[in-house]
Amino acid sequence: MAALTIQKVNKVYNKTVHALQDITFEIQEGELFGLVGPDGAGKSTLFNILTTLLLPDSGDIQILGMDLINDYKQVRQEIGYLPGTFSLYPDLSVKENLDFFAVMYKSDIEANMDLIRPIWRQIEPFSKRKAGKLSGGMKQKLALCCALIHRPKILFLDEPTTGVDPVSRKEFWEILQTIRTQGITVLVSTPYMDEATLCDRIALIQNGKILGIDTPEAIIEHFKGTLYTFKSANIFSLLEALKRCPLQCNYYPYGEHCHIAFYEDMETAMPQFLQFLEDNQQEHGDIEPIRPSIEDCFIEIVKMNRHE
Amino acid sequence: MKELRMILRKEFIHIIRDRITLLLVLAMPVALVLLFGFTISTDIHNARIAVLDHSKDTQSQAFVRKLSSSNYFQVVSYPNTETEIDFQFKENNIKLAIIIPQNFENELENEHNATIQVIDDVSDLNIASILNNYVRSVVQDFQNEYNQTSTLGESFSITTKMKYNPNMESVYMFVPGIITLIMILVTALMSSITLAREKETGTMRMLFITPVKKIYVVIGKVIPYMIISFLSTIVIIIISVFVFKMPLNGSILFLLLLCIIFMLTAASFGMLISTISTTQLDAMMITMMGLFLPTVLLSGFLFPLNSMPMIFQILANIFPAKWFILAIKDVMIKGSGFFDVWPYLTILFGMAVIFISISLKMLDKRN
């Protein structure tokens, strides 16, 4: 059963900025769904709508069988929200913050302790410390406890790992996996492509449009080009030279490598490409085929959409 | 209700942990009232006055000698007509004029009812009021001495004529004014700033997505500051009555009720401001410009209203402070009760209802 059904949701700011355009997708109960896209793609706007803080201009949203727009008061009891920026009371202690939100949700900490215990155990030693004095990762864990204290059926996480160190990020995703096992549907947004593979399904979003929705494996499966990676002595001159490449290809820097996806028959294309690099006096390392990552897929999809 | 109690508890934690603001909020009323009180009650020596003596008899001259021998007054001119007095006032040569009518001695001795007329320049009402009291005390002295030499009963009346500000306000005017300022600063300003702070830090969003009623969130924010400003008001009243001997003729309970109603008006204005402002700076600027300044300038607290251009007198009506000051003065000085000041109360209460309903409407919008 679908926990969340979004149909043709539109939001325009100031009559000119089209923040969301015909957003349509479904999230199944118990799913860990990722919303992946760069900054300014419309992720936070969508979260604001889903958490009943903002009204869409048009469109229909069903959440757990309720109409999100009209039954927003009942919806609030069933959703949990972890905003992108730290939004707890910095001058209240860890325990005080948790107590406060428990009462706000008419919830009982003891009754829901089994749900948050794995997270709570990590921050409990600091329960008397003021929330503003916690480290970034700890702050997020506390915020997650507060968002879960009323045992919501759907949890919305808006970029929970932005600005969090890699170790804490990994821990945080492990926590998300355990939350899922409790039957809570999770919608998480992230600008980090590597995190997308940890989701059941992901939606790629850019400029307020959904560019594709699928499991991470299927998205990688559907990569159309043939992808190669290689190192270059001078990446800037290489990228400059590639602009003149006559082959159907898409190239971009990827860490210290250059990724290039060809849309040609590689039997004939590869010799042509090697010839091209030589003609343009580009020194390069071994050109090796690789399996595309979600980021490669995202770049391809964005590129294709631009051409359409 | 459990939610409201929790919000209140949380708000008090905020207040107690923010030491500087707490100190400011508690110390400000005391500092203000002492500052104003001691500045205003400063003694005035050798004020320049004019005496127009129509009698020119023994007693009237004795009275004038009494006046000039006191440290308070310096008789700088003896005009012959009232027109001359007017001229002297306009030239700002004198602060006060005394007119002794004809047959002063005769009336004093035979009819036991002598009258002198005092003309005050009330454009500075504080000075005028102090000088008036000095005249009274000189008259009192004069009368006591006169009674010692004469076995006749005493009778002496003073008629006072005000110039430039006929409804002369009492020197205690500053007390209602300070109570008003404190209530606006603490109730309206502090609550609008803290509400805006929750918007700024994002905690307001977190609260609004919980099932808690928005009205609880707002009430929970406002009540702590109402309590603080109520305590401040009591401190101000205690200081003014016991340190500055301000009369408190009305019922103290009714006075406190009046303060509570005004606090409600100020708090509802604070709520309204916080719904339209998104940052603490916005909230502060709007409260300062929209409420605090008009209160200082247009409430009749520092500057008498009826000497202002008509447009400002009309404008003053839309700010709650004017009505509150009118009511509190009547209650404290004239000893008025509910039936005398109910129109003011109704206006204040009506304003609160309007502000609260607009802000609740605004809070319910989801954009």
Q: Which of B13, B210, B211 sits opposite A92 (nearest CB)?
A: B13
Closest CA to B183 of B266, B298, B254: B266
Query: In this complex, is the C-beta atom of A91 within 8 Å of any C-beta atom belonging to chain B?
Result: yes
pLDDT at res. A150:
92
Does residue B168 carry a pLDDT above 50? Answer: no
pLDDT-based confidence at residue A7 (cuts at 50, 70, 90): very high
Indicate if B58 and B97 belong to the same structural domain. Answer: yes
pLDDT-based confidence at residue B162 (cuts at 50, 70, 90): low
Q: Which chain A residues are Cβ-neighbours of B202 within 8 angstroms? A: 83, 85-87
Closest CA to B154 of B140, B167, B168, B166: B140
Indicate if B179 and B134 belong to the same structural domain. Answer: no
Interface A-B, measured as beta-carbon pairs within 8 A, has a size of 67
Look at residues A216, A237, A268 and tell me which one is the last residue of a structural domain.
A216
pLDDT at res. A161:
85
Indicate if A181 and A201 belong to the same structural domain. Answer: yes
Q: Do B211 and A53 touch (CB under 8 A)?
A: no
Does residue B142 carry a pLDDT above 90? Answer: no
CATH code of residue A253: 3.30.70.870
Q: Are A72 and B209 in contact (CB under 8 A)?
A: no
Report the alpha-carbon distance of residue B138 to residue A74 in Å, rounded: 77
> How many structural domains compose chain B?
2
DSSP string, B298-354: HSSSSS-GGGS-HHHHHHHTTSHHHHHHHHHHIIIII---HHHHHHHHHHHHHHHHH
Containing structural domain, residue B120: 47-163
Distances (CA, A) of B274 to B195, B281, B356: 6, 11, 12
Does residue A154 carry a pLDDT above 90? Answer: yes
Q: Do B211 and A77 touch (CB under 8 A)?
A: yes
DSSP classification of residue B170 = P
Does residue B31 carry a pLDDT above 50? Answer: yes
pLDDT at res. B158:
62
pLDDT-based confidence at residue B165 (cuts at 50, 70, 90): very low
> How many structural domains compose chain A?
2
pLDDT-based confidence at residue A10 (cuts at 50, 70, 90): very high
Closest CA to B184 of B98, B78, B42, B296: B296
Q: Which chain B residues are Cβ-neighbours of A76 within 8 angstroms? A: 209-211
Q: Is the dihedral of CA B294, B297, B302, B304 positive or negative?
A: negative
pLDDT at res. B148:
67
Q: How far is A46 from chain B (nearest CA, A)?
A: 13
Q: Which of B14, B201, B367 sits opposite A54 (nearest CB)?
A: B367
Q: How far is B270 from chain A (nearest CA, A)?
A: 22
Residues 1-60 of A with CB under 8 A from B: 51-55
pLDDT-based confidence at residue B301 (cuts at 50, 70, 90): confident
Q: Do B202 and A83 touch (CB under 8 A)?
A: yes
Look at residues B163, B189, B224 and tell me which one is the last residue of a structural domain.
B163
pLDDT at res. B167:
44
Indicate if A238 and A206 belong to the same structural domain. Answer: no
Residue A200 located in a structural domain: yes
Pick among A78, A81, A95, A103 to test the B interface (most B CBs inside 10 A): A103
Indicate if A11 and A152 belong to the same structural domain. Answer: yes
Indicate if A183 and A278 belong to the same structural domain. Answer: no
Indicate if B294 and B203 belong to the same structural domain. Answer: yes
Q: Which of B6, B17, B18 sits opposite A103 (nearest CB)?
A: B6
Q: Do B205 and A53 touch (CB under 8 A)?
A: yes
Q: Which chain B residues are Cβ-neighbours of A106 within 8 angstroms? A: 2-3, 211
Does residue B114 carry a pLDDT above 80? Answer: no
Chain A, nearest residue to B14 by Cα: A91
Which stretch of A244-253, B88-97, B265-274 has the lowest confidence by average pLDDT?
A: B88-97
Q: Which chain A residues are Cβ-neighbours of B6 within 8 angstroms? A: 99-100, 103-104
Indicate if A197 and A96 belong to the same structural domain. Answer: yes
Indicate if A96 and A194 belong to the same structural domain. Answer: yes
Q: Do A106 and B202 touch (CB under 8 A)?
A: no
Through-space distance between the first and last CA atoms of chain B, rounded to whole angstroms: 28
ipTM: 0.81
Containing structural domain, residue A261: 224-291
pLDDT-based confidence at residue A259 (cuts at 50, 70, 90): very high
Indicate if B290 and B200 belong to the same structural domain. Answer: yes
Look at residues A180, A197, A216 and tell me which one is the last residue of a structural domain.
A216
Indicate if A99 and A167 belong to the same structural domain. Answer: yes
Query: Residue-wise over B19-28: b if at least 16 C-beta within 10 A, else e?
Result: eeeeeebeeb
Q: Do B17 and A72 touch (CB under 8 A)?
A: no
User: What six digits make up the tokens of A25?
Assistant: 């997708």
Query: In this complex, is the C-beta atom of A106 within 8 Å of any C-beta atom belonging to chain B?
Result: yes
User: What six digits make up the tokens of A271?
Assistant: 């010799």
Q: Which chain B residues are Cβ-neighbours of A83 within 8 angstroms? A: 202, 205-206
Q: Do A53 and B209 touch (CB under 8 A)?
A: yes
Q: Do B209 and A76 touch (CB under 8 A)?
A: yes
Q: Do B206 and A73 touch (CB under 8 A)?
A: no
Q: Do A72 and B207 touch (CB under 8 A)?
A: no
Q: Do B2 and A106 touch (CB under 8 A)?
A: yes
Distances (CA, A) of A227 to A249, A262, A305, B263: 10, 7, 19, 70
Indicate if A199 and A157 belong to the same structural domain. Answer: yes
Indicate if A127 and A274 belong to the same structural domain. Answer: no
Residues A216-242, mean pLDDT to the nearest whole number: 89
Indicate if B198 and B323 belong to the same structural domain. Answer: yes
Indicate if A193 and A94 belong to the same structural domain. Answer: yes
Q: Are A202 and A35 in contact (CB under 8 A)?
A: yes
pLDDT at res. B367:
55
Report the alpha-carbon distance of residue B121 to residue B140 in Å, rounded: 22
